[in-house]
């Protein structure tokens, strides 16, 4: 497995950020140096369960994570960006689908850096730059 992709949505909160099977999968990925990518409330799941306490990351907002995750200790690593990427995690807020996709494709080496940037610019700006 090259990457674990955790999609966003409200199910994470509905399950109180405690999904045992997903925790086992994340643990497996960490033990085997598999990249973990998460967007929207999946980042909150990671924060809630302590995976982001010592890793640069982002999420829907720092305040949201602090209020939703009583055991969260990663405030010093929170970065106010659309998407944050490291060697083992890619995290993005719920409005960063394009940035998230770009980082995933970058890590998986889907395109050359130049082609990936052109892809990103096209979808970010559309046919006509303003």
Q: Where are the domains of the chain?
A: 3-125
- Tell me if the domain spanning 3-125 has CATH number 3.40.50.300: no
Q: How many CB atoms lie within 10 A of CB 51?
A: 23
User: Tell me, what's the pLDDT at 98?
Assistant: 98
Sorting pLDDT into bands at 50, 70 and 90, what band is 127? confident
Question: Smallest Cα–Cα separation from 83: which of 26, 122, 114, 124?
Answer: 124
Q: What is the mean pLDDT of the chain?
A: 96
Residue 16, judged by CB atoms within 10 A of its CB (0-12, 13-18, 19+), counts as: exposed
């Amino acid at each position: 497995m090259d990457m674990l992709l955790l999609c966003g949505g409200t199910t994470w909160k509905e399950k109180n950020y405690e999904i045992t099977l997903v925790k086992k999968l994340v643990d497996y990925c960490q033990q085997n140096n598999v990249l973990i990518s998460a967007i929207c409330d999946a980042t909150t799941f990671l924060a809630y369960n302590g995976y982001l306490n010592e890793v640069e990351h982002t999420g829907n907002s720092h305040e949201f994570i602090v209020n939703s995750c009583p055991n969260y200790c990663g405030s010093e690593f929170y970065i106010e960006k659309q998407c944050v990427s490291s060697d083992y995690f890619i995290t993005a807020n719920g409005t960063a689908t394009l940035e998230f996709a770009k980082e995933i494709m970058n890590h998986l080496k889907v395109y050359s850096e130049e082609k990936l940037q052109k892809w990103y610019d096209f979808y970010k700006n559309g046919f006509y730059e303003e």
